[in-house]
Structure 1
């Protein structure tokens, strides 16, 4: 069984992002980029399924600029067998990515598609659900445990009331939560091996997909700075300030 895993190149989670001076977006010039943390978890889970003998091939897919090849090489160093890059300089929005992935699902016919539940740059949490709708496949989102057997995937997910377990018939779409696993440390020998693994490059037009943006960003602004807190000598003063200044009681 093949597993298709989508990985996204994002600003590293340790970097403090800055808004451009003209408020048109986030400044990513000379900023460290890395794989979306949720997608690292997705790749790790696919590799673990392969190590259990459930999966025969893990294919990593990324959509975006040429530098996304680095993200795919990282995925292959973790354990993916080959990579596919859909190369474009267009701003890719969730629906466009879902359409590109749908075209690749039709081409590769995987038994399972694993995505991170969301990307840390836009926090959209849409691509997996859109892909499931476009491909007409069952979906299980926010997975904290995945088991595959007898043509079905049993997925445990966290909900407000506790844990919910779903059974979906394969092929299916699964999106990963942070508690699913702990991605492995990538060793130097595996990084060297990844450089020799197959990496195919397509353009959106090769897949017959129009990726023109449908949503326009009007303005991006930093959140308002929080004022410093103050100390009060006693409860009476606290209550007075809450009542007279904050007006919350």
Structure 2
């Protein structure tokens, strides 16, 4: 398969190259990633300044393209210029820290997979629980296995997979659970501080430790040591609400 790998943590991130090593054994792989960390940029794209691309070579013969833009930019550039064709699959990750629940709305990792899906390409966003995981290679091996299954079965147009891997070895996981996105709101706060010039500034904070998850959700699966797989649709239309809105007689306003 022709595989494009990207992320939102930047071209030098360990999770990116863990995926590369898992795929390069059996696939043709191109790495196109942001030149620096672009976490939580969601599906933003660069419109008001030029994008620059540099070929980056790392130790061990690893090489990829570093883009001055966002994860979505990387996918667009990859398809429309750098590759010049649609790859068979796009992998985004491996993101350190789970992308579950409402965080999918903010995640650059997830947005890159969504961008590929909008182009009609099979895509997977893959994240691992925790920020200093020892099991990136296990998550990467699983990513390669689920990619093979996608090649066999296919995904519907406009649907991609959001995968979250627990911070344990593949053998220690409780298995695989197909789950839905949790919509619980994490407790948030802003810490108010004063800078040396006596001006107010804020640091946003969030607690990712909910006491309870609904049993069928991505958060619950991950808490129970399952590999969580959630199918995500690009089409955000609420089709039931279409009929209800028609009954509002809005044209009479």
Structure 2 length normalisation: TM-score?
Answer: 0.37
Highest Rg: 1 or 2? 1
| Structure with the larger RCO, 1 or 2 (CA within 8 Å, 6+ apart) | 1
